[in-house]
Amino acid sequence: MNTVSAPEATGAESLRVRETLKALYGYVRPHQWAVVLGLLLALVGAAGGLLQPLATKALVDRLSSGGTLATILLALTVLVLLSTVAEAFGAYVLERTAESVVLAARRGLIGRLLRLRLTAVDRMQPGDLMSRVTSDTTLLRAVSTQAVVNAATGALTLIAAVVVMAFLDAVLLGVTLVVVAVVGAGAALVMPKIGQAAERSQAAVGEMSTSLERVFGAFRTVKASGAEERETARVEASARRAWRHGVRGAKWEAVLGTADNLAVESAFLAVLAVGGARVASGDIPVSTLIAFLLYLFYLMEPVYKLVEAASAYQEGAAAISRIKEVDRLAAEPPATYKPVRTEVRPASIRFEDVSFRYAPGLPYIHQQVDFAVPGAGMTAFVGPSGAGKSTVFSLIERFYETTGGRILVDGTDIRQWPLSELRSVIGYVEQDAPVLAGTLRENLVFSAPGSTDGDIRAVLARTRLDTLVERLPHGLDTLVGHRGSKISGGERQRVAIARALLRRPRLLLLDEATSQLDAVNELALRDVIAETARETTVLVVAHRLSTVTDADRIVVMDAGTVRAIGTHRELVDRDELYAQLAATQLLVPAERPAV
């Protein structure tokens, strides 16, 4: 078994602490002056509390000498009021700043998540990623401002109190520090356990979010399968893990709080015993003992603040660690290209010896794939499942990077294209034709937000969605439900096609875009696709050969390679696999279905 030596473990922990503090400073830096203001106000409040025992000592001395108390009582009242107002205003400033820190962290995290490469997203669970935006960022509230200010005010007021206590009586201070040091050493051992429990609890919350996202992503399937109880148990298991680690963290926090109280109470008893003896012997007046005991109780607040800051740091460090994991995931560059509508010019595509696999050690999806598609016209990709047809589109969109070879668009390697510019010339209809929650209008203009009402009406007529809009209670402004649950599968496919056409792409990618359409609507959309292909390069992935028999060229793929390229008639005559697919689907080579 490999073990890590103590120096190595300490070095790794020190590195993590430095990285956490650096990340924390990055969040706080834009709001540093607000934090400074909150700190100053907190110090004013702490100073008021620090002076109260001295005022009490003066009050006791005045009583002993028979002097008037009005001035001292007035001073005490003003001191209490000023410190209270300063603390209240400082607390508001810090809470407001904490919310701003959380907002900034969420904005940065959301922007990063939406730019992640698919290879990174494929390795993560969506629910876990969402929990980092929600629950993990919430933990930044305490550590980003309160912990910082509590640590600063706690340390400064503790030092100030110790100095004043030394001035009052050095012997009693020595007794106090010995007791606090003994109890504090034990409390220091508890700190890492709080951090471990917090990190595991947050991970369990991420698992719970993942389980819920899984259920709601297939809600009908869950109900139809009678799997509600099983899925409930799965989500509850994650919830129980989060509860278990949360309780463990609460246990150690309780131990820490108890140690804090134990230190002060033990010190109080020791000081009371030693101080009483010193008063009896005449070494110190009774007012000094009273003031010293008041300072001893006053120490509870700065010590509690330091303990609270340490606890918040442990929890915040766990959250920062999970947030920073997202920063280390591969992401695409921010979009810099602003698409401008110009005259549509069909794009040309060429694959040159393209190979691809998802990761080293995994089998190749593509192996030396070669084909060329000139501008305009329709090119179809057919073959058995798993042949690598849909992967062609993923590589063109640069959702994944090729392992070998290159892909050219308009004669330029797509890696030389600015990513946002490349995607701006492509219209893409995915296999499952996703529709987003929102209105029908929002879904149609999702890829082309500048579309006019005339553009929308024209594309609705082309895709036969105009009758659907007439039926809907609020027309284009009707909500379509989660993942388009309020419209049919065929309507979702037509919405996805209309969305792609509204973009006026130079290259249109259709991945099984008509698989859920009835015969009438499929024929109508085949006409639309054929019309589009006269002015746009159209690539189609199809399992039903009847939808692509009129394609200008058909690329037959098998096991990640290009097996043959030709027209329907040519391939029926000279490619065994294509002929077998055609025969299986009852296509007679001499017949060509009308479009």
**What confidence score (pLDDT) does residue 340 get?**
55
- The residue whose two tokens read 């933990």 is 139
pLDDT of residue 396: 92
Cα Rg, the chain, nearest whole Å:
35
DSSP for 105-173, written as a single string:
HHHHHHHHHTTB-HHHHHHS-HHHHHHIIIIIHHTHHIIIIIHHHHHHHHHHHHHHHHHHHHHH-HHHH
Q: Which of 393, 508, 495 is nearest to 440 (CA)?
A: 495
Length of the chain: 595
Q: Where are the beta strands (DSSP E) in 435-536?
A: 507-511
CB 537 within 8 A of CB 508: yes
Query: What is the SS3 string spanning 61-111?
Result: HHHHHCCCCHHHHHHHHHHHHHHHHHHHHHHHHHHHHHHHHHHHHHHHHHH
Bridge-based pairing of strands 553-558 and 561-566 is antiparallel
Delimit the domains of the chain by residue range. Answer: 13-327, 376-389+428-584
What pLDDT does residue 539 have? Answer: 92
Strand order through the sheet with 426-429: 426-429, 507-511, 537-541, 377-382, 553-558, 561-566
User: Are the C-beta atoms of 480 and 437 separated by less than 8 Å?
Assistant: yes
Distance CA 517, CA 492 (A): 10
Q: Strand (E) positions, 357-448?
A: 366-373, 377-382, 404-409, 412-413, 426-429
Nearest CA to 181 out of 173, 169, 193 is that of: 173
CB 297 within 8 A of CB 261: no
Distance CA 407, CA 356 (A): 12
Is residue 260 within 8 Å of residue 184, measured between CB atoms?
A: no
For 66, the token pair is 């028979």
Q: Which residues pair with 510 in a beta bridge?
A: 429, 540
71 by Cβ neighbours in 10 Å (0-12 / 13-18 / 19+) ranks as exposed
What are 560's two structure tokens? 């990640």
How far is residue 239's CA from residue 201's CA, in Å, rounded to a whole number? 9
For 8-26, the DSSP string reads HHHHHHHHHHHHHHHHHHH
pLDDT of res. 589:
44
Instruction: Please give the single-letter amino acid code of residue 207.
Output: E
Please list the pLDDT of the chain residue by residue as tens digits (595 residues).
444 444 444 444 544 667 777 777 777 788 778 878 877 877 777 776 666 666 666 667 766 665 566 676 677 677 777 777 877 787 788 778 888 888 888 888 888 888 888 887 777 777 777 777 877 777 777 677 667 777 777 777 777 777 877 877 888 878 777 766 766 666 666 666 766 776 677 677 777 777 777 776 666 666 666 667 777 887 788 788 878 877 777 777 777 666 666 666 777 777 778 878 878 887 878 777 777 777 777 776 777 777 777 777 777 777 787 788 888 888 777 766 555 555 568 889 999 999 998 888 888 899 999 999 988 888 999 888 888 888 999 899 898 899 999 999 998 999 999 888 888 888 888 877 777 778 888 888 888 888 888 888 888 888 888 888 888 888 888 888 777 777 777 788 888 888 888 888 889 998 887 666 667 777 777 788 888 888 889 999 887 787 788 888 999 999 889 998 988 888 888 888 888 888 887 554 444 433 3
Element spanning 561, H or E: strand 561-566
Give the CATH number of domain 376-389+428-584: 3.40.50.300
Fold (CATH) for 13-327: ABC transporter transmembrane region fold (1.20.1560)
Residues 6+ apart with CB under 8 A from 416: none
pTM of this prediction? 0.70
Amino acid at 189: L
Q: Is residue 568 within 8 Å of 540, Cβ to Cβ?
A: no
User: Which residue, chain included where needed, has tokens 């005490």?
Assistant: 76
